[in-house]
Amino acid sequence: MNHALWGARLHEAMARLHPDIRACVVARYFEYCSIQRAFRLHKKLMKANAEPSRALEQREAAMGVAVLFSQSACNEQTYPRDAADLYNQAANEWARQNRMVEEGS
C-alpha cells in the first residue's frame, strides 16, 4: 500500500489525518491487501485445478488477523469523508499497480 500512497501522491494527506483515523485507514489497507492476495492465490489454484495449499492457508490466516486488526484499530469510530476518499484513492492505485504487474508477467 505504501507504493499506492506514493503513486497517488497521498502521503501528505495521510500524514494530516488524526492519528486514530490514520491507524484505522492503515488497518483497512492491510485488510484490503490481505483479502486481495488471498483471493488471487485462490483464483490461481482454481485455474490450475490444484488443491488448496499451505500458502493459501497462511494467506487466509493473515486475512483473519487483518480483519481483527481493522476492527480493533477502527473501534467503531466515525470515519470522516476525507479519510474514506483517501482510502478509496489508494486502494484504486494499488489495484492499478497490481494489474500492471500482472499484465507485465
Model confidence pLDDT, tens digit, residues 11-36: 888 888 889 888 888 888 888 888 88
What per-residue confidence (pLDDT) applies to 102?
Answer: 65
pTM score, two decimals?
0.75
What per-residue confidence (pLDDT) applies to 42?
Answer: 79
What per-residue confidence (pLDDT) applies to 101?
Answer: 61
Q: How far is the CA of 79 from the CAs of 17, 22, 24, in angstroms?
A: 11, 10, 8
Listed as ranges, residues in the chain with pLDDT below 50 are none
What per-residue confidence (pLDDT) applies to 103?
Answer: 62
What per-residue confidence (pLDDT) applies to 100?
Answer: 66
